[in-house]
Structure 1
Amino acid sequence: MKKQIVTLTAIAALSVGAATTASADSTYTVKSGDTLWGISQANNVSVSELKGWNDLSSDLIFPKQQLSIGEEKQEAAAEKSSYTVKSGDTLYRIAVNHGISLDQLMSWNGITGHLIYPGDKLVVSGGTAISVPKAPAPAATTAPAPAQSTAPAQSSAPATAPQSGKEMTVSATAYTAYCTGCSGITATGIDLRSNPNQKVIAVDPTVIPLGSTVWVEGYGTAIAGDTGGAIKGNKIDVFIPSRDAALQWGRKNVTIKILK
C-alpha cells in the first residue's frame, strides 16, 4: 500500500508540474538583473508590447514581479490570418497560395480593382465580406445625352501621349481571351472574358512592373496585368476582345509611357 500511495503522490506532483509549465508559457517571473529589453528579446516580443500587456508606465521592473507574455500567441494567430504584399505579388497568386478564391480575397479586403502594392496587408483567412459603397449616379439633366459609341474601348486610344512617364519603344503584338489554351484569366486575376472592354497588356515584369498603368501608342491607357512566355524584354501583348481586330493589329513597334 505504501508503494501505491507513493506512486499516486508522484503522479499528482507530475500533474502539478505540468500545469505549472503550461501556465508559465504566458507569464514570466522577473529575476534580479532582468530588464524589459532582455525579457522582450528572450520571448520574441517588443518592449512596447510588454509594457502595454502589463500596464507599465516606465521601464522599471522588480524581482519576483509577474509579467504577462501570453499575448504573443494571439499576435502569432493574427499574423497567420493576414499577409503582407511583396513586390511581384498578384491577387490571384496570393489567393491560390492561401487556398482561397480570388473573389473571397477581394471581398474580405474590400478590393474592387486588381492593383496592390508592396506593404499592403491583406486578410487571407476567416475574413468577412466588406461592403464597398457604389459611386453615386450622375445628376439628371434635361440636356440631350451625347451619342454613345458602341466600339470596344480599345478603339478609343488618346490622340496624344501623356506629358509625363518613363518612355520606351517596344514591339507590340495582340491577343484575345479565347486563344487555344487560354483561360481568360490574367496573371493578376483579371477575368478578360467577363470584362472584354478592359484594357490590359501582357509584359515582362522585369521591364514593366505588374500592376503599372501604361499608355500605349494606338491603344490607350492600360493595366500591365498579364505575362506571357514569349513576352521578354521590350515586348508587350495588348488584349483585344475581337480575334479579327487582334489579327489586324499584327506586330508593330510602338511608343509606351509607364505612368505609375
Structure 2
Amino acid sequence: MKKHIITLTAIAALSVGAATSASASSSYTVQSGDTLWEISQDKNVSVENLKGWNDLSSDLILPSQELTVDGKTTSKAKTDSSTYTVQSGDTLFEIASAHGISLDSLMSWNGISSSMIYPGQTFTVKGGTAVAEKATTPAPAKSAAPASAPVTSAPVEKAPTPASTQSGKTMTVSATAYTAYCAGCSGTTATGIDLRANPNQKVIAVDPSVIPLGSKVWVEGYGEAIAGDTGGAIKGNKIDVFIPTQGEALNWGRKNITIKVLN
C-alpha cells in the first residue's frame, strides 16, 4: 500500500513538471540572428502560424521580442509593452513591421522625421498619438577668442565702380581697332605688354601728349583698359583699341565714342 502511494506521488510530480515545461515553452524570446523559419523549425510549427499568432505582417523580428509559439498566449511585444528600445542594427521599417504598425504611424507617434535611429532610443509602438517633431538641440556657441589674440578679418573685395560714377577726365575720341598680328606688328606694345601672350588684355594705343601712357581709361563699348601703346597715326583725340582677332577688329571699324581717363 505504501509503495502504491509513492507511485501516485511520483506521477503527480511528473505531471506538474510536464505542465510547467509546456507552459514555459508556449512563448519564445527572439535572440540576435534568429529568423521566423528557424524558430518555426525548432518549435515544430509553421511560419504562417507564428505570424498569425503574433500579428506579424512580415517575416521581420527583433532581438528581445517575445513570440507566442503555441497559439495559446499573446506576444508580449504586442500586448504587454507599448514601447520598444532600439537595438543595434534595427531600422524604423523593421520596428514598424514587427509591431504591426505603419512606418508613418511609428514616426508620427515619436515625433521624428528622419530615418536615423540609435541603439537605446525608446519608441512608442502601441496606441500612440501624433506629436510635434522633436526639436534638435542647438550646437553650442563657439567660445570667443582670448583677449590677447589679435582679431583679423578677411578683406572685403569691393565691386568695380561703374565708369559713370568714377571721377576722371571725359572726352570724345575717334576710335579704330588693331590686332597683334597686323603687318609689321611685333605683338609687343610700346610699354612692353605682350599682346600675343595675353590676348584678353584690354589695351589702347594713345597719343601720350593727350593721354599719359599707363593711364587707366574707361572706353565706351570696350570697358576699362590700359593706355599701353602708341601708333604713328594716333595723334590728338584718337585711340586704337586692341582686339584679339582680325575679324572683330574689322567689325569695330571707326567710330566716335566717349572715354574717361580715370588716372
Higher relative contact order (CA 8 A, sep 6+): 1
* TM-score where L is the length of structure 1: 0.39
Structure (1 or 2) with the larger CA radius of gyration: 2
